[in-house]
């Protein structure tokens, strides 16, 4: 008996006895332990997961692993995976059975002989392992497992179909919708086994939801709900069905389905959110009953952590009737009552911000967006629009804040001393009174929180300190300077944005911190030594004043002392001049932002008119008049547009604008410019690469004469300047780059021009040859090279082939689609490396970008990866991409201010 058992244990034999033994042992030993752990962990995950009801629910909690911003599920499937791997390792039978020559004419027998696996139960271990990998969130490994099943168990069509559907589900979780669609379409066309139709409906519904085809997904989701494996999953998918009805604008069915969720005895959090969602899809005429019902929920103790959602729902009811007057206070309450500061609060803030934005109250909208965006997922509806809008308002409010602050300071400066001190004393008194009220409110909240057991609603959070972005420039009679925190932070924000500045020409240049024309001039020895003895430091600060004693210093930093305010008021002519320059600069940039980024022409014109009236000799007049001309043309107000066209030609006859506008067909030229500038630039770039400099200069001259206002002019200037290198006209080369930086300091090629001029100023030689732009990107220094230049002990590159390495794909930013490259490399990795995982990261340094492939333990592993990549006939790296193999430590040094050229030279000298 023992001999028989020993003989049966071997997987080197393939007999009826060995097949029975290994199938029996797999089923009732290793697999049994694995499936029990799987069921336990799956149940725990499905019941403990906290769904995000502010967005479409996941079909299953495991899919949340793909989005780090989503609540993450819990559950460990490692034991299941370990048991499955053990079962496969110990009990897989690959050995072919001894052939029966008498059956070789039987087609079924011939197919049997061709099998890759002969343990009749082992496929269950493979399938369970794939499911466990999926529920662990390891979607790519799971996809590889299911792909293996579909290729190596072809004699089990139902198993193959199930595995293929699971594989599609893995792709959906990863966001690879094209690949998922391909699998599902082929399965449907090839004939789906009846046993898999319910599972197909579940995954197909998931695919259609991810694709945004909500209405088409509804019938499949209904089928999936009928066959849901657990009550919790049935509740989750029913809630999702209600959301799909809502997305499909079938509010009546959405309301009914949310009501159905409430009747399924769900967890209270689910029931509560179903009730809140009903208010969003309510179609009745009279909302008073709904509002009253929601307000009753406010007083219930178990809702104390959900007050924000209740007030948000009330706001939604009012907004559905276009009653913004009642909606706004409820949205404000929703933000104030939030105890979790999560997605629910963010959504109420976004809704409130949208209302303010529609009313053109941008200063009130800005803090709503600014606080909400970081909490939103990138899949949130109109996320890109909201993020872009928030960024624009962030920029706008800085200028609005500067204008209001300086206006307040100048108003104080113009008062008599008695009135000025009276205002300051009132500010201090109001501040003390406010702090006292806040302290009392905090004590009351703490008392209420301590007495929750007495059915008193707990209030959370103390009064918030005002921030610099909470200013209000419309509809509020409060004076900016009455808020000391705003004054202090406003000044800090300005210095953060512009730096501490001397009174000098061009101080407003946006990237002044990045370059100054003086940076590009070589200094004499006298100037170098003289700099060390300057009274002013390198930030342009005033010479240090006599130090204050400790009492005076404390008073100057105490908002409850007069000295705090007096110190910030401009009194000297230079200080008053600077304050007015800040106001003028703020009004101008507000006008630009309102015009170019928000397209609010009326508000932009109002800002420009204020600037022109208050500061008729402002330095922005030409650009301001041109923007006014374009806005009036877009508003179809040709008489007013002609007024500003005439002003430009009269006051600035030699400007690019006046020259262009002298052509009676100017507007036609402007429209034609967008069509022809790209083709002319392509021709210019092509001729530059071919060293045909005369054509480059001719194209630049044509554009400068015909279309001087083209958005591509910075690139034309840059190529025109570079073409002087091969002609050895170095002065013209430097002059061209300086012109570029003076006229277009914020252009995408300006950082590269800055680096070139700085390098020349530091004594670097201009490279001979045609100055090919593709070669120049390798000279770009990555990171901040300032500290590196001053550090004589900076670590050098080293060669260590046994240390972790990176595969870096480097390319000029505008030459390759980074996202497409990322997708192609990820697909290559998945196709060729089922066990090894590689992390991918895109990095951008203005003109140069790179895709970094991580996960190589040494250089030899990386070389093997590169060989496989080069042999891949389905994917070839674009010729614009240069692959670089570099150790992790050397790459870190590269990012500290070195260039790829530095690294290439190191390799040449050390290999």
Q: How far apart are CA 779 and CA 902, in angstroms?
A: 8
Q: Kindly indicate the confidence band of residue 498, based on its pLDDT and cuts at 50, 70 and 90.
A: very low
Task: Determine the pLDDT at residue 503.
Answer: 38
User: In this predicted model, what pLDDT tens digit does every residue of 191-236 receive, in sequence order?
Assistant: 888 889 999 999 999 999 999 999 999 999 999 999 998 999 999 9
User: In this predicted model, what pLDDT tens digit does every residue of 616-661 receive, in sequence order?
Assistant: 999 999 999 989 998 998 899 989 999 999 999 999 998 878 877 8
Task: Determine the pLDDT at residue 346.
Answer: 86
Sheet of strand 882-887, all strands in order from the earlier edge strand to the far edge: 839-845, 848-856, 805-812, 882-887
Mean pLDDT of 4-13: 58
- Residue 93 has a CB neighbour count (10 Å cut-off) of 23
- Going by C-alpha positions, the residue among 656, 653, 771 that lies closest to residue 704 is 656
Q: Is residue 167 pLDDT above 60, yes or no?
A: yes
- Strand, coil or helix: what is 629? helix
User: In this predicted model, what pLDDT tens digit does every residue of 594-624 receive, in sequence order?
Assistant: 998 888 999 999 999 999 999 999 999 999 9
58 in the Ramachandran plot: left (φ > 0), alpha (ψ -120 to 50) or beta? beta
In the 8-state DSSP scheme, what is residue 464? P
Task: Determine the pLDDT at residue 467.
Answer: 36
User: In this predicted model, what pLDDT tens digit does every residue of 653-684 receive, in sequence order?
Assistant: 988 788 778 777 777 777 777 778 888 888 88
Q: How far apart are CA 719 and CA 780, in angstroms?
A: 17
Mean pLDDT of 499-506: 40
Least confident of 37-51, 350-364, 519-533, 819-833: 519-533
Q: Is residue 322 pLDDT above 60, yes or no?
A: yes
Q: What is the pTM of this model?
A: 0.58
Torsion angle of the four alpha carbons 490, 492, 496, 497, in this order, in degrees rounded to the nearest 10: 20
Least confident of 291-295, 310-314, 390-394, 900-904: 900-904
Task: Determine the pLDDT at residue 489.
Answer: 43
Q: Kindly indicate the confidence band of residue 867, based on its pLDDT and cuts at 50, 70 and 90.
A: confident
Q: How far apart are CA 399 and CA 405, in angstroms?
A: 10
Q: Is residue 500 pLDDT above 70, yes or no?
A: no
Least confident of 12-16, 29-33, 163-167, 569-573: 12-16
Q: Kindly indicate the confidence band of residue 504, based on its pLDDT and cuts at 50, 70 and 90.
A: very low
Q: How far apart are CA 96 and CA 499, in angstroms?
A: 78
- Residue 736 has a CB neighbour count (10 Å cut-off) of 20
Q: How far apart are CA 341 and CA 203, in angstroms?
A: 33
User: In this predicted model, what pLDDT tens digit does every residue of 106-125 receive, in sequence order?
Assistant: 777 777 777 778 788 888 99
Task: Determine the pLDDT at residue 660.
Answer: 79
Q: Kindly indicate the confidence band of residue 17, based on its pLDDT and cuts at 50, 70 and 90.
A: confident
User: In this predicted model, what pLDDT tens digit does every residue of 435-490 receive, in sequence order?
Assistant: 888 888 778 767 766 664 444 343 333 333 333 333 334 334 444 454 444 444 44
Who wins on pLDDT, 318 or 749?
318
Mean pLDDT of 80-85: 90
Who wins on pLDDT, 727 or 768?
727
Q: Kindly indicate the confidence band of residue 521, based on its pLDDT and cuts at 50, 70 and 90.
A: low
Q: What does pLDDT average to over the chain?
A: 80
User: In this predicted model, what pLDDT tens digit does every residue of 804-851 receive, in sequence order?
Assistant: 999 999 887 767 777 788 878 887 887 777 556 688 888 877 667 889
User: In this predicted model, what pLDDT tens digit does every residue of 538-592 receive, in sequence order?
Assistant: 444 444 455 556 777 777 788 888 888 888 899 999 999 999 999 999 999 999 9
Q: How far apart are CA 273 and CA 266, in angstroms?
A: 11
Q: How far apart are CA 654 and CA 110, in angstroms?
A: 90
Residue 328 near residue 352, CB atoms below 8 Å: yes
Task: Determine the pLDDT at residue 568.
Answer: 87
Q: What is the secondary structure of 766-831 as a DSSP string?
A: PPPSS--HHHHGGGPPPS--HHHHT-TTPPPP---TTS-EEEEEEEETTTS-HHHHHHHHHHHHHH
Q: Is residue 768 pLDDT above 80, yes or no?
A: no
Task: Determine the pLDDT at residue 607.
Answer: 94
- With a pLDDT cut of 70, the percent of the chain lying above it is 82
Residue 240 near residue 59, CB atoms below 8 Å: yes
Q: How far apart are CA 23 and CA 128, in angstroms?
A: 15
Residue identified by tokens 């309102």 is 594
Q: Is 275 exposed, middle or buried (0-12, 13-18, 19+ CB in 10 A)?
A: buried
Task: Determine the pLDDT at residue 53.
Answer: 86
- Residue 760 has a CB neighbour count (10 Å cut-off) of 17
- Strand, coil or helix: what is 900? helix
- Going by C-alpha positions, the residue among 774, 771, 779 that lies closest to residue 726 is 771
- Reading the block at residue 859, the tokens are 């250089």
Q: Strand pairing partners for 853?
A: 807, 840
Task: Determine the pLDDT at residue 873.
Answer: 79
Q: Is residue 536 pLDDT above 80, yes or no?
A: no
Q: Where is mean pLDDT largest: 100-109, 380-389, 442-451? A: 380-389
Q: Is residue 55 pLDDT above 90, yes or no?
A: no
How many CA atoms lie within 13 Å of 460's alpha carbon, on the beta-carbon side? 14
Helical axes 177-190 vs 197-211, angle rounded to 10°: 150
Largest CA distance in the chain: 119
Task: Determine the pLDDT at residue 61.
Answer: 92
How many CA atoms lie within 13 Å of 114's alpha carbon, on the beta-carbon side? 12
């Amino acid at each position: 008996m023992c001999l028989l058992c020993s003989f049966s244990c071997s997987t080197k034999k393939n007999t009826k006895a060995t097949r029975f033994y290994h199938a029996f042992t797999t089923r009732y030993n290793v697999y049994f332990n694995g499936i029990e752990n799987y069921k336990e962990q799956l149940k725990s995950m499905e019941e403990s997961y906290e769904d995000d009801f502010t967005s479409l629910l996941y079909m299953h909690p495991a899919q949340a692993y793909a989005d780090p911003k989503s609540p993450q599920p819990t559950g460990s499937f490692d034991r299941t995976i370990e048991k499955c791997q053990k079962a496969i390792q110990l009990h897989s039978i690959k050995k072919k059975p001894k052939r029966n020559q008498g059956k070789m004419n039987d087609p079924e027998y011939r197919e049997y002989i061709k099998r890759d696996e002969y343990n009749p139960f082992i496929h269950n271990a493979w399938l369970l392992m794939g499911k466990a990998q999926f529920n662990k969130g390891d979607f790519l490994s799971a996809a590889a497992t299911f792909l293996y099943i579909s290729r190596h168990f072809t004699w089990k069509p139902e198993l193959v179909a199930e595995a293929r559907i699971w594989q599609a589900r893995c792709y959906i979780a990863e966001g690879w919708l094209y690949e998922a669609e391909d699998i599902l379409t082929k399965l449907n066309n090839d004939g789906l086994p009846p046993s898999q139709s319910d599972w197909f409906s579940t995954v197909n519904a998931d695919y259609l939801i991810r694709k945004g085809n909500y209405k088409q997904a509804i019938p499949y989701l209904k089928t999936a709900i009928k066959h849901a494996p657990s009550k919790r999953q049935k509740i989750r998918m029913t809630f999702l069905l209600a959301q799909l009805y809502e997305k499909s604008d079938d509010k009546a069915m959405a309301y009914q389905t949310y009501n159905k969720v409430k009747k399924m005895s769900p967890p209270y959090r689910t029931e509560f959110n179903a009730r809140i969602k009903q208010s969003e899809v309510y179609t009745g005429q009279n909302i008073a009953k709904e509002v009253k019902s929601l307000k009753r929920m406010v007083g219930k103790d178990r809702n104390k952590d959900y007050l924000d959602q209740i007030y948000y729902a009330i706001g939604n009811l009012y907004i559905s009737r276009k009653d913004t007057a009642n909606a706004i206070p409820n949205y404000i309450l929703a933000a104030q009552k939030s105890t979790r500061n999560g997605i629910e609060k963010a959504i109420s803030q976004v809704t409130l911000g949208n209302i303010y934005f529609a009313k053109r109250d941008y200063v009130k909208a800005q803090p709503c967006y600014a606080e909400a965006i970081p909490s939103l997922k990138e899949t949130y509806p109109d996320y890109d629009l909201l993020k872009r809008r928030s960024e624009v308002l962030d920029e706008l409010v800085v200028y609005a804040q500067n204008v209001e602050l300086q206006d307040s300071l100048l108003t104080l400066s113009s008062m008599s001393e008695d009135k000025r001190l009276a205002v300051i004393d009132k500010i201090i008194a109001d501040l003390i009174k406010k702090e006292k009220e806040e302290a009392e409110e905090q004590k009351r909240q703490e008392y209420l929180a301590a007495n929750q057991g007495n059915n008193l609603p707990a209030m959370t959070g103390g009064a918030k300190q005002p921030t610099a972005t909470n200013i209000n420039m419309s509809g509020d009679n409060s004076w900016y300077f009455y808020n000391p925190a705003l004054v202090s932070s406003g000044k800090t924000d300005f210095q953060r944005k512009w730096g501490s500045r001397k009174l000098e020409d061009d101080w407003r240049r946006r990237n002044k911190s990045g370059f100054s024309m003086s940076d590009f001039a070589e200094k004499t020895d006298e100037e170098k030594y003289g700099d060390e003895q300057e009274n002013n430091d390198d930030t342009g600060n005033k010479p240090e004043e006599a130090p204050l004693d400790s009492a005076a210093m404390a008073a100057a930093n105490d908002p409850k002392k007069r000295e705090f305010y007096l110190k910030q008021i401009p009194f000297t002519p230079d200080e008053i001049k600077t304050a007015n320059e800040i106001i003028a600069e703020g009004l101008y940039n507000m006008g630009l932002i309102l015009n170019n980024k928000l397209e609010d022409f009326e508000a932009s014109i109002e800002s420009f008119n204020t600037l022109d009236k208050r500061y008729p000799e402002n330095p922005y007049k030409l650009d301001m008049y041109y923007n006014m001309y374009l806005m009036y043309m877009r508003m179809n107000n040709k008489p007013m547009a002609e007024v500003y066209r005439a002003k430009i030609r009269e006051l600035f006859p030699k400007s690019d604008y006046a020259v262009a506008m002298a052509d009676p067909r100017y507007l036609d030229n402007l429209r034609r410019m967008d069509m022809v500038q790209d083709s002319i630039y392509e021709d210019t770039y092509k001729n530059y690469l071919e060293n045909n400099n005369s054509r480059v200069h001719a194209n630049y001259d044509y554009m400068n004469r015909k279309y001087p206002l083209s958005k591509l002019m910075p690139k034309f200037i840059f190529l025109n300047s570079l073409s002087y290198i091969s002609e050895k006209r170095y002065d013209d080369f430097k002059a061209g780059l300086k012109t570029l930086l003076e006229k277009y300091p914020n252009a995408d090629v300006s950082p590269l021009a800055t680096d070139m001029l700085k390098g020349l100023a530091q004594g670097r030689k201009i490279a001979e040859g045609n100055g090919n732009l593709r070669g120049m990107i390798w000279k770009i220094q990555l990171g901040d090279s300032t500290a590196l230049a001053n550090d004589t002990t900076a670590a050098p590159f080293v060669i260590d082939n046994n240390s972790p390495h990176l595969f870096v794909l480097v390319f000029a930013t505008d030459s390759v689609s980074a996202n497409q490259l990322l997708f192609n490399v990820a697909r290559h990795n998945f196709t060729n490396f089922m066990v090894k995982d590689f992390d991918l990261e895109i990095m951008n340094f203005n003109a140069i970008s790179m895709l970094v492939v991580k996960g190589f333990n040494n250089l030899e592993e990386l070389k093997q990866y590169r060989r496989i990549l080069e042999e891949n006939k389905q994917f070839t790296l674009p010729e614009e991409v240069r692959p670089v193999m570099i150790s992790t430590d050397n790459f870190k040094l590269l990012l500290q201010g070195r260039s790829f050229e530095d690294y290439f030279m190191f390799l040449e000298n050390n290999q």
